[in-house]
Structure 1
Amino acid sequence: MTANFTGSLEDRMAIREVLETYADAVNRVDEQLWASLWVEDSHWDLSHYPELGIVEGKEAVVKLWRDAMPHYPKLSFLVGIGMIHVHGDTADARAYISEIYEEPGTLKDKRARACYNDKLVKRDGQWFLQSRSFTIIHQT
Structure 2
Amino acid sequence: MAFSGPLEDRLALRDLLDSYADAVCRNDGADWAATWVEACRWDLAGFGELVGKSAVVETWTAAMRGFPGLVFQAWPGAMTVAGDTATMRSYTCETYWRDGEMRRDFGEYADQCAKIDGRWYFVSRQFRSSRRSESDT
How many residues get paired? 133
Among residues 35, 38, 41, which one is paired with 2:36 in the alignment?
38
Partner residue in 2 for 1:102: 97
Aligned-residue offset at 1:82: 0.5
The alignment status of 1:59 with 2:54, answered yes or no, reads: yes
Partner residue in 2 for 1:11: 9
**CA distance in structure 2 between the partners assigned to 1:107 and 1:128 by the alignment:** 36
Partner residue in 2 for 1:86: 81
Partner residue in 1 for 2:25: 27
Among residues 109, 116, 128, which one is paired with 1:116 in the alignment?
109
Q: Compute the RMSD of aligned alpha carbons.
A: 0.9
Aligned-residue offset at 1:102: 1.9
Among residues 95, 118, 127, which one is paired with 1:125 in the alignment?
118
SS at match of 2:107: strand
Structure 2 residue ranges without an equivalent (≥5)? none
**CA distance in structure 2 between the partners assigned to 1:136 and 1:69 by the alignment:** 17
Alignment identity in percent?
42
Aligned-residue offset at 1:66: 0.6
Partner deviation per Cα, 1:86-120 (whole Å, 9 max, x = no partner): 011110001101111123xx343221111011000
SS at match of 1:62: helix
**CA distance in structure 1 between the partners assigned to 2:6 and 2:86 by the alignment:** 11
Partner deviation per Cα, 1:32-62 (whole Å, 9 max, x = no partner): 110001001100000x22xx31100001000
TM-score by length of 2: 0.93
TM-score by length of 1: 0.92
Partner residue in 1 for 2:68: 73
SS at match of 2:65: helix
**CA distance in structure 2 between the partners assigned to 1:126 and 1:71 by the alignment:** 31
